A = this chain, B = another copy of it.
Amino acid sequence: VLTDFVTYYIRRPSEGSIVVVTSKIVALGEERTADPKKRVEIIKAESEFALETKHTWLTIKDGTVMSSAGVDESNADGKLILLPKDSYAAAEKLRKVLKRKWKLKKLGVLITDSRLLPLRSGVVGIALGYAGFKGLRDYRGTKDIFGRVLKVSQTDVADSLATAAVLEMGEGKEQKPIALIQSAAVEFAEKVNRHELKMKIEDDVYYPLFKHVRGK
């Protein structure tokens, strides 16, 4: 179903493209919907950490900080839409089918959602899962322009691509569920390490904020 939807919307792209799909479409394909009356129950069940805040729930789901475990009521026709069951697996599955269908060697798939940044109004796109490219670019051990070895520099490629795509796909009535990224600064790879973006909470710069609160 998802493949038909994608190939209906976009034609065979050039080598080295990334197909971006919103989590909503993937979740609908997986029939991940629920009764709005069960909202709080579901938010708690879907997340590893859940804390009620003034306007929403602050949650950690699959190691990712987001609002309300990604459970969404907008554009849902009266139902709640949950996130896909496993966005990395869904991305890889879609990539395999599209790659074969389009006879491409290098193809990426990226499943996106949106979230709030600390102290910022407005949401930005985030990568829930992806396949076919490296989500993290590593500069550690390379030198800066003055020849000094960089110690900590890594770029979060997957979230950056998701953010760019979600800006173009929009929200609300105008939302486009699919986008195509071409000629981005990305390294394609057949296998993805689904933990590469995850920072251990104890090592995280935000850890001192999390360690004082107990959710759920």
Contact = CB atoms under 8 A, between A and B. Distances in A.
Contact of A117 (B51, B53, B117, B157): B117
A63 B56 CA distance: 21
B155 A170 contact: yes
Contacts of A175: 145
Given A185-B168, A209-B210, A74 B150 contact: yes
B122 A204 contact: no
B139 A198 contact: no
A120 interface: yes
Contacts of A77: 146
Nearest to A53: B205
Of the four ranges (under 10, 10 to 19, 20 to 34, 35 or more), the interface on chain A belongs to 35 or more
A119 B201 contact: yes
B117 A144 contact: no
Given A125-B160, A167-B184, A208-B51, A172 B153 contact: yes
A199 interface: yes
A4 B134 CA distance: 37
A83 to B, nearest CB: 16
A75 interface: yes
A32 interface: no
A23 to B, nearest CB: 15
A176 B205 CA distance: 26
B155 A205 contact: no
Contact of A207 (B54, B152, B172): B54
B202 A144 contact: no
